Amino acid sequence: MKKYGLLGYPLGHSFSKTFFNQKFESENIEAEYVNFEIPDIKELKNILKEHPDLCGLNVTLPYKTQVIPLLDELDEDARQIGAVNVIKFKKGRFGKLKLKGYNSDIIGFKQSIEPLLKSTHRKVLILGTGGASKSVYQGLRQLGLDAVFVSRTPKEFCITYEELTSKTMQLYTVIVNTTPVGMFPHITSCPDIPYDLLTPGHLLYDLLYNPDETLFMKKGKEKGAAVKNGLEMLLLQAFAAWEIWQKKE
């Protein structure tokens, strides 16, 4: 039986484990998906030794960047983003195991937001500067959009929330929240943007999906803006991970 798994710490409720095991059962695939909750990424070597039937791994916080030095190759997207959330196992010369890192977050995000984009959506505000924001930035660039990061504190290549003027809000008609602000149980919180300056021409995309409609989305909807949460992106990146594992090279 083939085995796939998730690296992270802590793991708690894992979307990936539930998703893939349900997929394997419903499609009669002889495989299982397990969680590897490890306190140090260096333990990956022990996992590989103890589980020779492993065919692929997902990677979540805090190891999306830390795992990179332990890999043999990187896909171009993963290299440019500087984060990996999918590892494909390949047999190299003389049967030696080789690990190649990919980023399926960028695939899920692009596929999810692209149908919502209109010709007026040319500039994007990315709220947050964490790991997810880098996948979003790269995806938007590939879709031909200009994007700028918004940070709570002054940083290089960023603007702050205090700098979101009327003109800025008029020019930047797509706003993507990559922060955890507004996630359950803190559902009465939202990113500190000037919601009164939103219009029906704006698109608000929240990477969060719990609750289904965050306060960020609700405030956007009240101004007539199009809104979407991150659940579809989550599903699409999982589909993409499976395709990466199955693809012959």
pLDDT of residue 93: 73
Its pTM stands at 0.92
Q: Quick one: pLDDT at residue 92?
A: 72
Q: What would the two tokens of residue 16 be?
A: 């990936």
249 pLDDT more than 90:
no
Active-site positions?
Answer: 64
Within 10 A of 248 (CB to CB), how many other CB atoms are there?
3
Q: What is the mean pLDDT of the chain?
A: 95
What tens digit of pLDDT does each residue of 160-188 get?
A: 999 999 999 999 999 999 999 999 999 99
Q: Rounded distance, CA 107 to CA 92, Å?
A: 26
Centroid of chain to Cα 130: 11
CA distance 12 to 68: 23
Q: What is the pLDDT of residues 192-226, one digit of tens each?
A: 999 999 999 999 999 999 999 999 999 999 999 99
For residue 12, pLDDT over 90 is answered with no
Q: How far is CA 244 from CA 86, 87, 107, in A?
A: 8, 9, 11
Q: Which H or E run contains 7?
A: strand 2-8
Amino acid at 34: V
Show the tokens assigned to 246: 């199955």
Radius of gyration of the chain (CA): 19
How far apart CA 4 and CA 63 sit, in angstroms, is 17
How far is 97 from 94, CA to CA, in rounded Å? 9
Q: Which residue did the predictor score with more confidence, 14 or 70? A: 70
